[in-house]
């Protein structure tokens, strides 16, 4: 693993909500152009952690933070860094598909540009490439001006992925992207993730351990025991974490003994 480069690194990340310490000393390095899965039982802080990677957790008023998140060796929490600009480089896909209901399919793909006040020379080309990369182009190419809500749940989620891709992010964060989808749609989204993997760094939170094994190169296991803040128990190559876990708690979790 020594020849890997790391696009995104979290160093000693701590998060509080009010006085509650929810994440403690998380150190993770995400290899460039690989998929990293974050697994763990509910409430272990994995969703909170993924939000620290593009400063979305700050939207909760009582949030507190310590540590560093380095994107290409630059601390995104550094002085003079605008969180809004951070989110331009780190895209995010949420649990529930959230296309903008007042916009058409095409407008949704271009919404990132509009929302960040950017101009682009060739919008049509961008729409097509983004939708192709999210493997939804063939399904929607004839009805780009239909409302986004006319799509099925799985299509909506891939549209949201396309929307993020149109911004050309270096990193894509996915917070349980398939938890609201049926198995067929889940498979399509997983295929999309695997197609994107060679060109961008992907971090995915998932409840589903089969999914982690199917899509992830690396897996990190989060745990929050007995009211202690969440922390990383084990981090390594996916096969190793699932087949020869070092920590007995990881073994118990991946074999379904709890969680």
Partner 1 sequence: MSVNAPSEKIERRKLATKPFARADRIFFAVSTAAAYSSFVIIALILIFLVGRAIPAFQTQGIIDFAFGSTWDSAATPATFQLGPMLWGSILISLIGVVIAVPLAISIAYFIEFMAHKTLAKIVTTIVDLLAAIPSIVLGLWGAFVFSPIAAGWAKMLNQSMGWIPIFDNPEQNFLRSPFIAGIVVAVMIVPIIASITREIFSQMDRDIINASLALGGNRESTFRKVILPTAAGGVIGGVLLGLGRALGETVAVLYVLNISFDINWGSVLQAKGGSVASMIISKFGEANPDEISALMAAGLVLFVFTLIINSIASYIVAKAQPWRK
Partner 2 sequence: MEKVTDLTPVARPKTAAPWSRKSPQFVLYASLASIVPAAVALGTIALTGMDFMAALFIVFLPLQIVAAALVGITVYGRRGILEGLLVVATIFLSSFVFVLLGSVIWSVISNGFSALSASFIFQNNYYIQPKTSLEFGGVGHSILGSLLIVGLSTIVTVPLGLATAVYLTETQGKSKGIIRTLLQAMSGLPSVVSGLFIYAMFIASGITTYAGWTGSLALIPLMLPTVARVTEEALRLVPVELRNGALALGAPAWRAFVQVTLPAAKSGIVTAILLGVARVIGETAPLVLTTFAADRTNLNPFEGAMGSLPTYLFNYIAFGFDESIQRAWGAALVILILVAILFISARVASRTRTKARK
Binding site residues, partner 1, CB under 8 A: 14, 16, 24-25, 27, 55, 58, 61, 63-67, 77, 82-84, 228-229, 231-233
Instruction: Please tell me the distance from the alpha carbon of residue 135 to that of residue 175, in angstroms, as a whole number.
Output: 19
Distance in angstroms (rounded) separating the CA atoms of residues 30 and 27: 10
Cα atoms found within 13 Å of the Cα of residue 254, Cβ hemisphere only: 25
Q: Find the binder of partner 2 among 1, 2, 80, 117 (CB under 8 A).
A: 117
Per-residue contact track with partner 2, 170 to 189, x per CB under 8 A? ---------xx---------
In whole angstroms, how close is the CB of 3 to partner 2 at the nearest point? 32
236 binds, among partner 1, partner 2, none (CB under 5 to 8 A by kind): none
Exposure string over 12-48, b if 16+ CB within 10 A, otherwise e: ebbbbeeeebbbbebebbbbebbbbbbbbbeebbbbb
If one asks whether residue 100 binds partner 2 (CB under 8 A), the answer comes out as yes
Phi, psi (rounded to 5 degrees) for 4: -80, 145
Binding site for partner 2 (CB under 8 A): 54, 56, 59, 61, 84-89, 91-92, 94, 96, 98-102, 111-112, 114-117, 160, 163-164, 167, 179-180, 207-210, 256
């Amino acid at each position: 693993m020594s020849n890997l480069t790391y696009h995104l690194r979290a160093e000693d990340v701590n998060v509080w909500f009010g006085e509650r310490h929810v994440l403690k000393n998380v150190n993770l390095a995400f290899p460039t152009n690989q998929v990293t899965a974050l697994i763990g039982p509910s409430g272990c802080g994995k969703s909170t952690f993924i939000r620290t990677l593009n400063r979305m957790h700050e939207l909760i008023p009582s949030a507190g933070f310590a540590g560093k998140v380095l994107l290409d060796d630059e601390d995104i929490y550094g002085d003079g860094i605008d969180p809004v600009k951070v989110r331009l480089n780190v895209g995010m896909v949420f649990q529930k598909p959230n296309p903008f209901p007042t916009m058409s399919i095409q407008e949704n793909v271009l919404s990132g540009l509009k929302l960040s006040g950017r101009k682009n020379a060739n919008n049509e080309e961008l729409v097509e490439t983004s939708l192709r990369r999210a493997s939804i182009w063939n399904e929607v190419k004839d009805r780009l001006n239909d409302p986004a809500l006319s799509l099925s749940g799985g299509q909506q989620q891939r549209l949201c992925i396309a929307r993020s891709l149109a911004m050309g992010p270096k990193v894509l964060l996915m917070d349980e992207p398939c938890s609201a989808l049926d198995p067929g749609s889940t498979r399509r989204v997983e295929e999309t993730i695997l197609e994107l993997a060679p060109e961008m760094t992907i971090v995915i939170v998932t409840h589903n351990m089969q999914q982690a094994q199917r899509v992830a190169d690396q897996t990190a296991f989060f745990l929050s025991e007995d009211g202690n803040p969440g922390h990383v128990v084990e981090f390594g190559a996916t096969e190793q974490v699932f087949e020869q876990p070092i920590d007995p708690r990881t073994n118990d979790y991946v074999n379904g003994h709890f969680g």
